[in-house]
Amino acid sequence: MTICRRMFSTSRSILSHDNPLGLPRSGTPPSFPRRRGLPQKRTIRDVKKVVAVSSAKGGVGKSTVAVNLALAFARRGIKTGILDTDIFGPSIPTLLNLSGEPRLDENNCLVPLTNYGLKSMSMGYLLPQTQSDSPTGEVPMDTTPITWRGLMVTKAMHQLLHSVSWGPLDVLVLDLPPGTGDVQLTINQEVIIDGAVIVTTPQDIALRDAVRGFGMFQRMDVPVLGMVRNMAYFACPNCGHQTRIFSHGEGHQSHCEDHGVVAECKRLGVDFLGDIPLDAQVCEDADRGKPTMVAEENVEKSVRRQAFLDVAEQVANKIGLDWH
Ligand SMILES: Nc1ncnc2c1ncn2[C@@H]1O[C@H](COP(=O)(O)OP(=O)(O)OP(=O)(O)O)[C@@H](O)[C@H]1O
Ligand SMILES: [Mg+2]
């Protein structure tokens, strides 16, 4: 009997979506066997490299960058998967236009859902749909007792990390939720991460959180591959003029050497991986489940797509993927 079969001991309820990961929702909070010391970091089965896309700040474009990065790898023939580690606000099902229950294989491991040549797994595939499904149109409420959240997250994360049947993958991209909380801690403690990509926007307030995220990886001995500056500038669709809307000390006119994302990278000793433009099309592509990397595959000289490709190429080279 494999590890996976033991973990998914309640496979019937997984398939019925009743309680996908066997997480208790009432009664006394669950107790788990006490571990001595910290959990042992290990590799994910069948996965050669793991890259985490992260930022302590919410809404800066982590999922957008993560999915385009993963698609850039996949479109280059690199066997790639993406794991949505945002338990409470999964984005990957929308970004990849995927839904429905994952099958269980003969070892009771979850079989990833695939689109555009990219394998994916997300809590969003496992939990009951909570949006406008209600016949009364009621807005659903998360009734999970707050004190349980940490435990549930830890258990769900553990299973998402170790009970998915990825098949051989060259790289698995982890789309992290915002913050430096339970999910980040569990992942950092349980899995060997080959590198972290930190996404930020140009504003001071986002950059401060990005630096906080950098500190977390440093403390966890995870190499930081570099920072991506998302929404770096707005390119006018008519004349192409670039405006640094969120600029702080980095604008064309007010360029300030010791300020902003590039300067912060220098200070921290990490690489600046590049700019992604603020572009309505990037958002539209994401919303309709066809990220820019795929949507503009046949568009000649797509600045948006090229921006993602440039970041992907650097990441690939840094972790030793075969980028050609
Ligand atoms: N470069 C961009 N240009 C335009 N819109 C963008 C860009 N990057 C991201 N967005 C949009 O910004 C919103 C937030 O992006 P996204 O969900 O990727 O952020 P996030 O950091 O993953 O958020 P969360 O912290 O909630 O996980 C989305 O609507 C997305 O389409
Ligand atoms: Mg996200």
Instruction: Using the predicted structure, report yes or no on whether residue 95 has a pLDDT greater than 80.
Output: yes
Q: How far is the CA of 293 from the centre of ligand 2 (A)?
A: 17
Instruction: Using the predicted structure, report yes or no on whether residue 236 has a pLDDT greater than 90.
Output: no
Task: State what percent of residues in the chain have pLDDT above 90.
Answer: 60
Mean pLDDT of the residues in the chain: 84
pLDDT at residue 33, as a whole number: 55
User: What gap in Å lies between CA 67 and CA 110, rounded to an integer?
Assistant: 20
Q: How far is the CA of 4 from the centre of ligand 2 (A)?
A: 27
Q: How far is the CA of 268 from the centre of ligand 1 (A)?
A: 25
Sign of the CA dihedral with 143 first, then 149, 152, and 158 last: positive
Across 2-11, 62-71, 111-120, 196-205, least confident range: 2-11
CA distances (Å), origin 238, targets 234, 242, 246, 247, 281: 12, 11, 20, 21, 14
User: What gap in Å lies between CA 115 and CA 113, rounded to an integer?
Assistant: 7
Q: Whose CA is nearest to atom 26 of ligand 1?
A: 59
**Ligand 1 neighbour 279 (Cβ under 6 A):** yes
Across 27-49, average pLDDT: 72
**Ligand 1 neighbour 63 (Cβ under 6 A):** yes
- Three-state SS at 149: helix
Report the nearest atom of ligand 1 relative to the CA of 304: 1
pLDDT band of 2, cuts 50, 70, 90: very low
What is the chain's Cα-based Rg?
Answer: 20
The encoded tokens of residue 128 equal 């009951």
Instruction: Using the predicted structure, report yes or no on whether residue 144 has a pLDDT greater than 90.
Output: no
Instruction: Using the predicted structure, report yes or no on whether residue 1 has a pLDDT greater than 50.
Output: no
What is the residue extent of each domain of the chain? 51-128+146-318
Report the nearest atom of ligand 1 relative to the CA of 176: 27
Q: Cβ(125)–Cβ(14) under 8 Å?
A: no
**Ligand 1 neighbour 91 (Cβ under 6 A):** yes
Q: How far is the CA of 99 from the centre of ligand 2 (A)?
A: 17
Q: Whose CA is nearest to atom 11 of ligand 1?
A: 283
Among the four given CATH numbers 3.30.830.10, 3.40.50.300, 3.40.50.2020, 3.40.30.10, the one describing domain 51-128+146-318 = 3.40.50.300
Instruction: Using the predicted structure, report yes or no on whether residue 166 has a pLDDT greater than 70.
Output: yes
pLDDT higher at 1 or 191:
191
pLDDT higher at 133 or 297:
297
Across 90-104, 197-211, 235-249, least confident range: 235-249
